Structure 1
Amino acid sequence: MPPLDVVCFGETLVDFLPAAPGQRVREVSAWHPCSGGSPANVAVGLARLGLRPAMLGVVGADEFGHFLRERLAAEGVDVSHLRQTPEARTGLVFISLDARGERSFTFFRTRSAEFLLGHADVDEAFVQDAKAVHCGSNSLQWPEARDAAVRILGLARDAGRIVCCDPNLRLHAWEDTSELKGLLARMLPLCTVVKLSEEEIGFVTGTEVPEEALARLAGMGVALPVVTLGDRGAVLLWKGERLHVPAPPVQAVDTTGAGDGFVAGLLHGLVRWYGSADALRGASGDELTVLAQFACEVGARVVERLGAVEGLPRAEALVQVMPVRSPASR
């Protein structure tokens, strides 16, 4: 079996989507379950783009845990390290859009299985054999999970892998957000790539200005900091050069998961073109602009459908925009 391309870890949840949009959660009479959780969405996105990702984490030894393992495996995600535990239930999220397009979420994940990531889940060989590692932060609310996450990132960095983090902040889920700040202070300096949305940069970097946020992330040691700007595209900082890529025009139905699509698109390019943090150091700004443009394209496809996973595109649908690296730059 070929080696893994990317190990994703963090929250793995069941998203329930309404049979039809246009209603608040309380008004929906029929729901459809699908896999969810930001890192799991990225894993699905990578698999659909043709890479071999894995999902590392914890779900319940319940029907929803079985559901997640089966759905992710069916997408081509390695679930050999997605542990099931009888100690907690799988987390659930009910998501809907009202008639004005406003999203509403109802969470059932208090002390859910995702929080039980621990030292026993850290498989050094499994992590270091992959070309990249990607994570979020929402499931890392307990001390052992935080320590396990930092260890995973450190193992990947020490092995020269591409280390990516999209914190995907959910501040309401933290009783004390200073604990999240402390966690990010430990995690982000271990990362090659950090992606933040424009709404997140103030909490993480202390500035609301994207260009200043990029510089502060670079000051932490992040080689490729990225800030996504919604329908305005994204800005990146590479070796002191600021790069801006526009978002393609799109008729947005639901923006849930757009960032996950962007990350999947960007990681797909970084892994295919470079495959390691050392090789990435030789990248040019022009090359990374091409990859970021593709990432915006993937994110734009996501918002055309309801839900974070439904719109994640497959490689065959992106033939016309799939980035091709110039032989001279290899």
Structure 2
Amino acid sequence: MSEGTQPPLDVVCFGETLVDFLPSAPGQRVRDVPEWRPCTGGSPANVAVGLARLGLRPAMLGVVGSDEFGHFLRERLASEGVDVSRLRQTAEARTGLVFISLDARGERSFTYFRTRSAEFLLGGEDVDAGFLLRAKAVHCGSNSLHRQEAREATVRMLEVARGADRIVSCDPNLRLHAWEDPSELKGLLARMLPLCTVVKLSEEEIGFATGTDVPDEALARLAALGVALPVVTLGERGAVLLWKGERVHVPAPRARVLDTTGAGDGFVAALLHGLVRWYGGARALSEATCAELAALATFACEVGSRVVERFGAVDGLPRAEEVAAVMPSRPPASG
């Protein structure tokens, strides 16, 4: 089948794809866990899984090792319905691994094996405009962009998508401890965020990303950069967004919080699901109403709340049939 006859995609996610190892039972430190269970990990990959479970056709673009863990990720993502045709495997580095646990007090602990891992080898060879433009939206993070070549490739993909009226989404998912010089990340965000249609930041991230710890001010600063739909998630207080100068706050449902890992990925997957399903492109999105976006953000909070009730980032991502009763329907156009 030629590139021109390939089936369309809904969202291309690109960035880190890792293996998360979860303990057979929470309540222990990493050093005390006797048995581990491998799962897909990496924020963009989690979003891809979330999109697939909600019924869309996502793809994962990135780099993993040619080792057994790289094969595991390709097979596991494909089994979820994620297109992995652009998930490149390389012998130059190994797949990144993360061991995650909750101790008896509910404190998370992480042990990383991802120094110079394959995810960081994203480069010019991975920029495929034809593949990107098969989708209605693209989504990325910033966690794996430590090499200049990866940064340039990411910026180029964002430019391609924005120039072709695609919805461009970014959840930086900041991990400042991983940057030897965090000012490099700040400079990278200054290049990436103005290319985005949608930017999602947690309340804890806005200070670094925007220079203010006040959510409403952060929204305004993102809008001034050219971000059409800036969103700040507020944990149990829901989320706030800015649309054409109007502030919209949506609540989060009550949840029995076990593990907050991946809650933001679930939120992003649900929000993108609605944006792609209802609008399909940046120009069409420009006609959205505050009421419509409030409905989508409310649904995104619902999905995020389900993630925190399970241990790990992907176990709680719901399937479409599980959230059918709360999935919003787009109201008919007035007039």
Q: Counterpart of 1:223?
A: 228
The answer to whether 1:50 aligns with 2:55 is yes
Select which of 82, 86, 110 maps to 1:81: 86
- Paired with 2:129 and 2:291, the residues of 1 have a C-alpha distance of 34
Residues 182-193 of structure 1 aligned to structure 2 (within 5 Å): 182-193=187-198
1:282-327, CA deviations, whole angstroms, 9 ceiling, x for partnerless residues?
A: 0000000000000000101101100000000000001110110112
Deviation at 1:129, TM superposition (A): 1.8
Q: Counterpart of 1:19?
A: 24
Deviation at 1:2, TM superposition (A): 3.4
The answer to whether 1:172 aligns with 2:174 is no
Residues 1-330 of structure 1 aligned to structure 2 (within 5 Å): 2-328=7-333
- Paired with 1:244 and 1:98, the residues of 2 have a C-alpha distance of 34
Q: Which amino acid aligns with 2:192?
A: M
Q: Matched residues, percent identical?
A: 81
- Is the partner of 2:169 in helix, strand or coil? strand
Q: Which amino acid aligns with 1:325?
A: R
- Paired with 2:59 and 2:236, the residues of 1 have a C-alpha distance of 30
Q: Which amino acid aligns with 1:207?
A: T
Question: Which stretch shows the higher mean deviation, 71-80 or 120-129?
Answer: 120-129
The number of residues matched between the two structures is 330
- Paired with 2:228 and 2:106, the residues of 1 have a C-alpha distance of 37
Structure 2 portions without partners, runs of 5+: 1-5
- Paired with 2:265 and 2:96, the residues of 1 have a C-alpha distance of 19
- Paired with 1:182 and 1:118, the residues of 2 have a C-alpha distance of 19
TM-score (norm 2): 0.98
- Paired with 1:141 and 1:323, the residues of 2 have a C-alpha distance of 38
- Paired with 2:65 and 2:315, the residues of 1 have a C-alpha distance of 23
- Paired with 1:172 and 1:93, the residues of 2 have a C-alpha distance of 15
- Paired with 2:7 and 2:257, the residues of 1 have a C-alpha distance of 37
Deviation at 1:122, TM superposition (A): 0.5
User: After the TM superposition, which segments of 4 or more aligned residues of structure 1 sit over 6 Å from their partners?
Assistant: none
1:18-65, CA deviations, whole angstroms, 9 ceiling, x for partnerless residues?
A: 000001111111000000000000000000000000000000000000
Deviation at 1:329, TM superposition (A): 5.2
Deviation at 1:328, TM superposition (A): 2.2
Q: Which amino acid aligns with 1:257?
A: G
Q: CA RMSD in A?
A: 0.8
1:97-122, CA deviations, whole angstroms, 9 ceiling, x for partnerless residues?
A: 01111111000000000000000001
Deviation at 1:194, TM superposition (A): 0.2
- Is the partner of 1:90 in helix, strand or coil? coil
TM-score (norm 1): 0.99
